[in-house]
């Protein structure tokens, strides 16, 4: 497994302006690739904005528009030779709309998608249907990668499920608000520590309608340390993920290896 250079795009939301967000993504990909990054992770619902309302989410989830956005990001990834994780709404069977994260590789090929499983408050529930959480891991440079979205990482079962499936990096596109700094400052490093995985948390900053986002995008290592963290302002947060840190974390910490599972509950 090769070492992986990771970039997190922390930025303000530009709701409803897909063309502008595509331009910002292209620039971020160029900057990240020039800095040697192999993978760029953007915030939750980056391409369309997050707090945009039910009608806008439904319109953006239209199948043709959805496919056009994926194809456009794939072209950007190919041009800059960097894998990209990005978010937008997606129409799902049964007529609902999912809050979806998608990964394309440096050649523009679709690697994986994930639909948010835990909906946060009335804002999420009014716009989205919950995903099943059954998406497969995917590979970038030998790293087994799983995805969660924002609130999902606040449930320990989600990161443990991915770790048991063999994930060694979990990426989390996020739209987390001021007032919930505990998540980025303490909970994300704890999720990394208790599962001996890397966790990458990419958040918005600034305001979007009535929401104020907290920034603090971070990468947490398998020993719970935080090798990279953003502040409150827009930034491209870079981190080098070392395969040896994964090996050492799993040698020294044994939570994942010693986990006995629900079959042992109560014994």
Q: 146-172, pLDDT tens digit by residue?
A: 999 999 999 999 999 999 999 999 999
188 three-state secondary structure: helix
* 207: helix, strand or coil: strand
Q: What are the φ and ψ backbone dihedral angles of 45, each rounded to 5 degrees?
A: 55, 40
Counting the structural domains of the chain, the total is 1
| pLDDT recorded at residue 267 | 36
Confirm whether 182 is domain-assigned. yes
Residue 265 falls within a domain, yes or no?
A: no
| Domain span including residue 198 | 4-259
Q: Which residues in the chain show pLDDT less than 50?
A: 263-267
> What per-residue confidence (pLDDT) applies to 266?
39
Q: What is the pLDDT of residue 260?
A: 87
Nearest CA to 107 out of 126, 79, 128, 129 is that of 79
CA atoms of 234 and 239, how far apart (whole Å): 16
Distance of CA 49 to the CA centre of its chain: 15
Calpha distance 27→152 (Å, rounded): 29
| pTM passes above 0.85 | yes
- Contact between residue 192 and residue 222 where contact means Cβ atoms under 8 Å apart: yes
- Residue 142 CB: number of other CB atoms within 10 A? 11
Does residue 264 sit within a domain? no
CATH of the domain at 211: 3.60.110.10
Q: Which residues are catalytic?
A: 44, 116, 150
What pLDDT score was predicted for residue 1? 84
How many whole angstroms separate alpha carbon 134 and alpha carbon 75?
A: 27
What does DSSP say about strands 204-208 and 211-214: parallel, antiparallel, or unpaired?
Answer: antiparallel
How many residues in the chain?
Answer: 267
CA–CA distance, 57 with 15 (Å, rounded to integer): 11
Pairing verdict, β 138-140 and 110-115 = unpaired
* 92 in a structural domain: yes
């Amino acid at each position: 497994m090769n070492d992986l250079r990771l970039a997190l795009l922390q930025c303000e939301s530009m709701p409803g302006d897909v063309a502008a967000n595509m331009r910002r993504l292209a620039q971020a990909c160029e900057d990240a690739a020039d800095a040697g990054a192999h993978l760029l992770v953007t915030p939750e619902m980056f391409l369309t904005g997050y707090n945009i309302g039910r009608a806008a989410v439904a319109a953006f989830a239209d199948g043709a528009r959805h496919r056009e956005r994926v194809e456009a990001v794939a072209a950007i990834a190919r041009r800059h030779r960097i894998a990209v994780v990005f978010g937008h709404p997606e129409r799902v069977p049964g007529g609902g709309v999912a809050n979806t994260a998608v990964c394309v590789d440096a050649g523009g090929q679709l690697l994986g998608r994930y639909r948010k499983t835990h909906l946060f408050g009335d804002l999420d529930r009014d716009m989205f249907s919950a995903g099943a959480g059954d998406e497969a891991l995917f590979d970038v440079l030998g790293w087994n990668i799983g995805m969660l979205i924002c609130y999902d990482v606040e449930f320990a079962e989600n990161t443990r499920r991915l770790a048991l499936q063999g994930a060694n990096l979990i990426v989390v596109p996020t739209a987390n608000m001021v007032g919930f700094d505990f998540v980025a400052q303490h909970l994300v490093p704890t999720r990394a520590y208790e599962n001996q995985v890397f966790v990458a948390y990419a958040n918005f900053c600034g305001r979007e309608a009535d929401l104020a986002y907290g920034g603090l995008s971070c990468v947490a290592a398998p020993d719970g340390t935080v090798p990279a963290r953003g502040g409150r302002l827009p930034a491209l947060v870079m981190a080098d993920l070392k395969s040896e840190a994964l090996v050492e974390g799993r040698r020294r910490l044994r939570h994942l290896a010693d986990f006995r599972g629900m079959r042992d509950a109560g014994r």
